[in-house]
Amino acid sequence: MIQEIANALVQSWRNFATAFVLFVPRLVAATVIFAGGFVVSLLVRRAVQRLLAWLGAGRLSERTGASEMLRKAGMPTAERLIAKIVFWIVWIGFIVSAVDTLQFEPFQGLVEEFFRFVPRFLVALLVLAIGFLAGNFLWRAALLASVNAGLPGARVLSGALRILVIAIGVVMALEQLGLATAVVLTAFSIAFGALMLGLAIAFGLGGRNAAKQLLEQQLQAKKKRDEDAAPHL
Amino acid sequence: MENESTLSDALLRQLIAVGQTDILVGLPTLNNATTIVGVVRAVHECFTRDFPRLRTVMINSDGGSTDGTPDLIRDASFAEADMVQTSHSLRTLHRVVAPYHGLPGKHTALRTVFAAGELMQAKVVVVIDPSGPATTAERVTELIGPIARSDVEFLAPRYRRHPRDGVLITQLARPLVRALYGVALDEPLGSEFACSGRFASHCLEQDIWNHEAARFAIDLWLRTEALAERFVVGQIWRPATTAAGTRTTLREAVRQVVLSLIESLRAHEPFWLKADGMAALRTWGTDPLVVPDAATWDYQTLAEHARHDIVEITPLLEEVLEPALLARLMDESPGARSQLDDELWVRSVYAFAAATRVGRTSIEHLADMLAPLYMWRAAAFMSHTESESPAIVQARLDSLCETFLRLKPALVARWSAEV
């Protein structure tokens, strides 16, 4: 009995020792990958930042209005932001590789998953950026058009349009990432539908007369606002 | 060849049949039935009476009139009983009527006239505005004379206006063009002009013709191109025109003028960045001296609209104007009685000009954003000069030109920083 217990203990110890001996090199490798990855990521970040500066990304970002938006959001410049994103993508890649090197059962296939995710992530970022740019452009155009037309609440109208376009961009980006697609799409559809329905009911029932009056006034105001250019030329 | 692509086969055949010419008078038309016959007769009288020995041609470039304008030109008789002809032309009088093809707009009509002038080796090209003040033979001759007999190669009209008239010209177009190009040009936007065949050929070689903005920017561009390319430019007194028939709204007019100015700034950047001072231009003709009455309009309502619009677009103005400048503008609180002083106005205009260089906001949007500021400036100007004599108002206009000139280095610095 005692012998059997001793054998089991020895066997257990041997298994542990074997596993430990097998694990240590993987741990060392993972640590090296982790630390080395950090250094490489830092270098890549610096290189990307310099490359973007050389390509004039800062000016492009100024021209597109992205810089202004980033400043308002308390974020770094576009060059720094992109370099940071690249840093995290590269470093997370190394972290995933390091974890994969440890060969833990639950994390098997993590590297493949990660590399499948990266392109989707980049596309999502692009969609988000386009959404922001389109939102800004449309906001500006709508604000100027409605001010020129003398519409009341021009800022509210154009602001709502900007939020809507950016929201569509965010939803599309999240869908691209595959993050809670159904929840996001459903929430967006419900919110958008409710908003439109609410407006339709408010305008159709509650504000029918007000709407009529508003449109009539609008027409009058527009005629009044269309000043003749003749005395100015 | 530029000509071959610009001129239709039918027009080309007609021009070849006419052959070489000395004087070409172009009539760009679009539904000018009410005035065109008088203009055609005046041109023919001018040819017959004042230039009988020269080869002359009148070319109508029609933009698709639906009121029979081309037919009226074709059929217009110039042997009217009340037309006293003191001499007869020794040469055949040619009259060519042709619809232009290409992009719709005055620039395409002018391009056709210029291309015809180049093909026919015209020495003088005159463009008459058929919707302008009554055209007489004397006035056509006045336009032809300086180009034919002196070294001037571009002749721009000059009008005797009341200084409170044409505010968009006096507050924006004129002082800006004067300051940037360093030349005391009075009317950057007039539609009539005369030029040499050499200048017409030069213009044909430029790439302005296919630009979208050229549709309304061509008048300004022609003048600034002549200045920038150092052609000898002169001015000629013409009877005052009235824009009363225009159907353009003020905002649209501001937009077109701003787009025209930007088109010229971009085209002539190497010139105006270095130009300085203010050269006078030789003027032909007789100064009418009599100052017409100023047009009256409701500037207080305009000020109210300006105030409303500026408040609404403040977030957009923040993108264009420096914070200190915007703060000063906001402190002034737009209104008919509030002052938008020369310096503030000029700095704002220059900030918009520099913003077109940055390219962050589209030029069309910038033009729309400047409109309320202009409306404020126009209303404030009209309010402050309401009871002033024309001489004092004129002094104010001269002072504004000086302010544009004085602050030009700030625009040059900002523009150059973006290169």
Listing DSSP states for B157-169 in one string gives EEE---TTS-HHI
pLDDT class of B4 with cuts at 50, 70, 90: low
Contact A225 B305 (CB under 8 A): yes
Contact B168 A232 (CB under 8 A): yes
**Highest-pLDDT range among B224-228, B247-251, B379-383:** B224-228
Residues B140 and B39 reside in one and the same domain: yes
Q: What is the C-alpha separation between B318 and B326, in angstroms, rounded?
A: 7
Paired with B61 in beta bridges are B28, B98
CB B319 within 8 A of CB B377: no
Q: Which of A129-138, B333-342, B366-375 has the lowest mean pLDDT?
A: B333-342
Write down which residue in B230, B255, B284 finishes a domain. Answer: B284
Contact A144 B243 (CB under 8 A): no
Residues B239 and B333 reside in one and the same domain: no
What ranges in chain A are assigned the alpha helix state H?
2-55, 57-64, 66-72, 78-101, 110-149, 154-177, 181-201, 208-225
Residues B316 and B223 reside in one and the same domain: no
Percent of chain A with pLDDT over 70: 89
Rounded to 5 degrees, what are φ and ψ at B247?
-105, 10
Residues B148 and B221 reside in one and the same domain: yes
Sheet hosting strand B154-159, strand order edge to edge = B94-99, B56-62, B23-29, B124-127, B193-196, B154-159, B233-238, B282-284
Contact A144 B368 (CB under 8 A): yes
Structure confidence by residue, pLDDT tens digits, B323-350:
999 998 888 766 556 778 899 999 999 9
Instruction: Give yes or no for B349 touching A (CB within 8 A).
Output: no
In chain A, which residue's Cα lies nearest the Cα of B169? A233
CB B364 within 8 A of CB B260: no
Structure confidence by residue, pLDDT tens digits, B138-194:
999 999 999 999 999 999 999 888 999 999 999 999 999 999 999 999 999 888 999
The domain total for chain B is 2
Contacts of A12 (CB under 8 A, 6+ apart): none
In chain A, which residue's Cα lies nearest the Cα of B159? A233
| Residue in A144, A147, A227 nearest the CB of B250 | A227
> Is residue B294 domain-resident?
no
Structure confidence by residue, pLDDT tens digits, A155-165:
898 999 999 89
pLDDT of residue B80: 46
> Is residue B1 domain-resident?
no
| Residue in B243, B360, B375 nearest the CB of A63 | B360
> Is residue B292 domain-resident?
no
> Is residue B26 domain-resident?
yes
In angstroms, how far is CA B259 from the centroid of its own chain? Answer: 13
> Is residue B182 domain-resident?
yes
Instruction: Give yes or no for B289 touching A (CB within 8 A).
Output: no
Q: Which of A32-46, B66-80, B180-194 has the lowest mean pLDDT?
A: B66-80
| Structure letter (DSSP) for residue A56 | T
Residues B75 and B162 reside in one and the same domain: yes
CB B18 within 8 A of CB B53: no
pLDDT class of B63 with cuts at 50, 70, 90: confident
**pTM to 2 decimal places:** 0.78
Query: What residue type is B240 in one-letter code?
Result: A
Write down which residue in B255, B284, B313 finishes a domain. Answer: B284
Residues B277 and B406 reside in one and the same domain: no
Across chain B, how many H-helices and E-strands are there? 19, 8
Helix (H, G, I), strand (E, B) or coil at A175: helix
pLDDT of residue B235: 96
Instruction: Give yes or no for A229 touching B (CB within 8 A).
Output: yes
Contact B168 A227 (CB under 8 A): no
Residues B80 and B123 reside in one and the same domain: yes
CA distances B126 to B22, B317, B363, B364, Å, are 11, 43, 32, 32
Q: Which of A58, A60, A66, A75 lies closest to A130 in space, CA to CA?
A: A66
Can you give the CATH number for the domain in which B76 is found? 3.90.550.10
> Is residue B339 domain-resident?
yes
Residues B271 and B338 reside in one and the same domain: no
In chain B, which residue's Cα lies nearest the Cα of A153? B312
Query: What residue type is B269 in one-letter code?
Result: E
Residues B261 and B354 reside in one and the same domain: no
Residues B151 and B226 reside in one and the same domain: yes
A154 CB neighbours in chain B (<8 A) are 312
Instruction: Give yes or no for A105 touching B (CB within 8 A).
Output: no
CA distances A165 to A120, A146, A202, A207, B26, Å, are 21, 17, 23, 26, 51
Token couple for B98: 């042709």
ipTM of this predicted structure: 0.71
Q: Which residues of chain A does CATH 1.10.287 include?
A: 112-225
In chain B, which residue's Cα lies nearest the Cα of A228? B249
Fold designation for A112-225:
Helix Hairpins (1.10.287)
Paired with B29 in beta bridges are B62
Q: Which of B146, B243, B223, B137 lies closest to B180 in space, CA to CA?
A: B223
Contact A226 B249 (CB under 8 A): yes
- Residue B393 belongs to what domain range? 299-417
**Burial code of B216-253, b = ≥16 C-beta within 10 A, e = fewer?**
bbbbbbbbbbbbbeebbbbbbbbbbbebeeeebbbbbb
Residues B257 and B303 reside in one and the same domain: no
Write down which residue in B256, B284, B312 finishes a domain. Answer: B284
> Is residue B293 domain-resident?
no
Q: What is the C-alpha separation between B198 and B85, in angstroms, rounded?
A: 32
Q: Which of B173, B217, B126 lies closest to B370 in space, CA to CA?
A: B173
What ranges in B273-312 are assigned the alpha helix state H?
299-312
